[in-house]
Structure 1
Amino acid sequence: MTSKTKYRILMSSMDAFGHINCTLALGEILASYGHEVTFANHSRHKKLAEERNFKFIPFDEQFFENVQPASIPGWLDKYLHKFRADALSIFKDWTLEESQIFGSIVNVFKRNSIALEAIFKENANNFDLFIGDFVLMNPAFYRAPFPCAYLMSMNPLPLYPNGPPAWSGFSVKETDHEKWNRFRELCGQASKVYRENLYSWWRSNETPLPAIQDDRVENWFYVEPEQLGIYHYPELLDYHEIGPIRSDKWIRLDCAIRRPDNVEPFEIPESLKYLPGKLQFSW
């Protein structure tokens, strides 16, 4: 019997828990089939790779010193209340300062891309495939010496051109599309600096621009994969009623949840075990 092909797979993601968790979960699935998985990220995440018997390659932190950092965490602390409002209030009446601070998040993408390119160059012959969760088009992917696949761990609405605006919270059954258009208009105005920074970065790196270049935020976050795109979303919650998705190069992964750090079974404390009613947790 011929043995199945085993691939050397490099994986990475943005430095955010949701993206890291989904990447690790997919890595666990691939490793269970015998593939060699290497996780690349900041040095502080090395333990996450070691716990799963993945190899690990740290980002060169010097690259992050050479690009101006984003101040998005500070912005979120100050303006998070905006995103707790109704959809049409989120992006209303943003100041230029707010827009500029929000636009600075592009620096995060720049630093990730530079760090990735260095790893690709040093390991040109060491991998058969790269899988990365970086939200949008990344110049490093187009200069990689091996095939690259995009991983999307966020809500897949940007894959559906006929759906409501991504991150608006509007239902797919909403009949008042004027609200959709108004949301997109307000979002486009507030995100003008962000969009300009994105396009400037892409052009300076000769990265293919989105096929549709307008103010719709979904189009900045949609990537047309050259080889493969993987999105993580349960089938029962997916948006089949507003399909099809933009490209058959995207495939859905029904569930990718990484193993918990604490594998010990939970036991109800003796002081609570025999009390009446339900046990309720607060996070």
Structure 2
Amino acid sequence: MRFMVTAIDAFGHINATLGFAEGLKAAGHEITFVHREKHRNLAIKRGFSFIPFDETLVGGNPEELLFKWIDAFAEKFRQEPLKRFIEFASEKQESFEAQAKFFDTLNDALDKIIIDNPDKFDAIVHDLAAPFPFLYKHSIPWFQLASTNPLILYPSGPPPFAGYSVHSDQTAWNEFREVYSRAHAILTEIKNKGFEAAGLKDVKFNPAVFVDIPQSFGFYHYPAELDYTECEPRRPNWYRVDAWIRQPDLDTEFVIPQKLQDKPGRLIFFSLGSLGSADLVVMNKIIAILAKSPHKFIVSKGPRGDALELADNMWGENYVNQIKVIQGVDLVITHGGNNTFMETLYYGKPMIVIPYFYDQYDNAQRVVDKKIGFRVNPYDIEEDYLLNCIENIFNDKEMIDRVKSISHNMRNSNSLNEAIKMIEKQIEINNNKVQ
């Protein structure tokens, strides 16, 4: 079968989607990865075909716009989520207007791909984090991936993106939901007006979910031991896969840099992802703290890494071969983006999560609730606490064993193959109906 695979223009979603596509290819299917020209190498490396977006439609420099957005709202991102969204709700919400435009531009680019390549695809697999009109315009069956923390799929659980424990005081849950909804009012209004204009009155954007209702079914990836089964029922037609971790982007093995080889201590990977690392204030603060640790660090410095100065117990580059690095370290300090979160668990490493926004807070709290690591809030980074968290993990054999057990189950799961069989069967059913 011939699959078009795509995702929103964010590395976490792209990388996760590539992992699912690798599973499809291993099952004998033909993959065409559709995205911006700069990501062509990700497809070619994996033996996929590639079709680039029409850059005249996409336009601009999303990375520069992202930097401006981070700089403009950095103070808010350094606040706890409820206070952050209270402030967003009281402002003009230009950033959410820009997000709506981003979704519309991406929709137009993908729609043009389908129009220019009629009868090329048997199905679409996507991680677009919102309803997209082009999916309804064409007759190609589509299957949605949710590469985020799955709390969005459990309406009875804590509000997504708040970072609340399932054991927390529920009186605060409704307040957060109301504030969060007001903060995203402009985005919701613009998107839903667009659906109505496209004749899709039954399609609605829900900012508390950020996924569409599956056409037949969708898939999310999260290990069974961490899933929110205590918050069931789950939204209908969503199925869990233990993991769909992509192969490394580079085939070279990770070797401890010469600078660190003779230094004492354990080896730790530190990354706040492509977004969090753009906040140089937070990055510099954490680097200054980790400089006082007796351990050594591999640092993914991010898109603004040239402006960062690393300490003597650190080595880093703006972008590192993350999967290979994770395999070679003893601990990961991460922003908790779901892609890095899953990779860390897959390779059996405990973690300290310093969440920056959205589902990162939920992953951070899940780490605490399931006793597989620690949470450190970026708006409340205390030197002693962060350094003690590192030592407490290395001294906690039960915690390390729990993570290794989760890793073992993820790596030996057959759930991705079962998901692909579900897709194959559904496409056959659709084809039989057409005939």
Provide TM-score, normalisation by structure 1: 0.86
Deviation at 1:45, TM superposition (A): 0.9
**Matching of residue 245 in structure 1 with residue 234 in structure 2:** yes
Question: Equivalents in 2 of 1:38, 1:181: separation in Å?
Answer: 43
Task: Flag the structure with higher helix content.
Answer: 2
SS at match of 2:225: helix
For structure 1, the 5+ residue unaligned runs are: 1-6
**One-letter amino acid of the counterpart of residue 59, structure 1:** F
Contact 1:159/1:222 (CA < 8 Å) preserved in 2?
A: no
The residue aligned with 2:161 is 167
**Matching of residue 281 in structure 1 with residue 297 in structure 2:** yes
The residue aligned with 1:8 is 2
**Matching of residue 217 in structure 1 with residue 226 in structure 2:** no
After the TM superposition, which residues 173-188 of structure 1 pair with which residues of structure 2 at under 5 Å, given as runs? 173-174=167-168, 176-188=169-181
Question: Equivalents in 2 of 1:193, 1:72: separation in Å?
Answer: 19
Q: Identity of aligned pairs, percent?
A: 37
- RMSD, aligned α-carbons: 2.6
**Matching of residue 205 in structure 1 with residue 198 in structure 2:** yes
The residue aligned with 1:233 is 222
Query: Which residue among 249, 266, 282 is the counterpart of 1:261?
Result: 249
Q: Which fold has the larger relative contact order, with Cα–Cα distance below 8 Å and residues 6 or more apart in sequence?
A: 1
**One-letter amino acid of the counterpart of residue 277, structure 1:** G
- CA deviations 1:5-31 (Å, max 9, x no partner) are xx1111011111011101111111111
Deviation at 1:232, TM superposition (A): 2.0
Structure 2 vs 1, CA of residues 14 and 270 (structure 1 numbering), >3 Å: closer, same or farther?
Answer: closer
Structure 2 vs 1, CA of residues 208 and 236 (structure 1 numbering), >3 Å: closer, same or farther?
Answer: farther
Query: Which residue among 43, 52, 65 is the counterpart of 1:49?
Result: 43
**One-letter amino acid of the counterpart of residue 218, structure 1:** A
Structure 2 vs 1, CA of residues 168 and 124 (structure 1 numbering), >3 Å: closer, same or farther?
Answer: same
**One-letter amino acid of the counterpart of residue 230, structure 2:** E
Contact 2:157/2:166 (CA < 8 Å) preserved in 1?
A: yes
Deviation at 1:143, TM superposition (A): 1.4
Contact 1:184/1:217 (CA < 8 Å) preserved in 2?
A: no
**Matching of residue 193 in structure 1 with residue 186 in structure 2:** yes
Structure 2 vs 1, CA of residues 141 and 73 (structure 1 numbering), >3 Å: closer, same or farther?
Answer: farther
Question: Equivalents in 1 of 2:81, 2:257: separation in Å?
Answer: 43
Question: Equivalents in 2 of 1:16, 1:271: separation in Å?
Answer: 32
Contact 1:120/1:145 (CA < 8 Å) preserved in 2?
A: no
Question: Equivalents in 1 of 2:219, 2:171: separation in Å?
Answer: 32
SS at match of 1:231: strand
Deviation at 1:230, TM superposition (A): 1.4
SS at match of 2:54: coil
SS at match of 2:38: helix
Query: Which residue among 77, 91, 100 is the counterpart of 2:94?
Result: 100
Structure 2 vs 1, CA of residues 151 and 208 (structure 1 numbering), >3 Å: closer, same or farther?
Answer: farther
Question: Equivalents in 2 of 1:206, 1:72: separation in Å?
Answer: 32
Deviation at 1:103, TM superposition (A): 2.4
Of residues 45-54 and 200-209 in structure 1, the stretch that sits farther from structure 2 once superposed is 200-209
SS at match of 1:235: coil
Deviation at 1:154, TM superposition (A): 1.4
- CA deviations 1:68-101 (Å, max 9, x no partner) are xx95652222213323322321112337655123
Residue correspondences, number = 270
Question: Equivalents in 2 of 1:39, 1:80: separation in Å?
Answer: 33
Question: Equivalents in 1 of 2:260, 2:233: separation in Å?
Answer: 50
**One-letter amino acid of the counterpart of residue 141, structure 1:** L
Deviation at 1:40, TM superposition (A): 0.3
Question: Equivalents in 2 of 1:231, 1:208: separation in Å?
Answer: 26
Contact 1:40/1:58 (CA < 8 Å) preserved in 2?
A: yes
Deviation at 1:268, TM superposition (A): 3.5
**Matching of residue 157 in structure 1 with residue 151 in structure 2:** yes
Deviation at 1:122, TM superposition (A): 2.4
Deviation at 1:142, TM superposition (A): 0.8
SS at match of 2:297: coil
Structure 2 vs 1, CA of residues 201 and 73 (structure 1 numbering), >3 Å: closer, same or farther?
Answer: farther
Deviation at 1:276, TM superposition (A): 4.3
After the TM superposition, which residues 68-83 of structure 1 pair with which residues of structure 2 at under 5 Å, given as runs? 73-83=67-77
Question: Equivalents in 1 of 2:211, 2:9: separation in Å?
Answer: 20
Of residues 271-280 and 222-231 in structure 1, the stretch that sits farther from structure 2 once superposed is 271-280
**Matching of residue 40 in structure 1 with residue 34 in structure 2:** yes
Contact 2:89/2:180 (CA < 8 Å) preserved in 1?
A: no
**One-letter amino acid of the counterpart of residue 250, structure 1:** W
Question: Equivalents in 1 of 2:118, 2:97: separation in Å?
Answer: 33
- CA deviations 1:225-256 (Å, max 9, x no partner) are 11221112222221111012110x21222112
**One-letter amino acid of the counterpart of residue 232, structure 1:** H
Structure 2 vs 1, CA of residues 267 and 136 (structure 1 numbering), >3 Å: closer, same or farther?
Answer: same
- CA deviations 1:31-75 (Å, max 9, x no partner) are 111111110011111111111110001111222249xxx956522
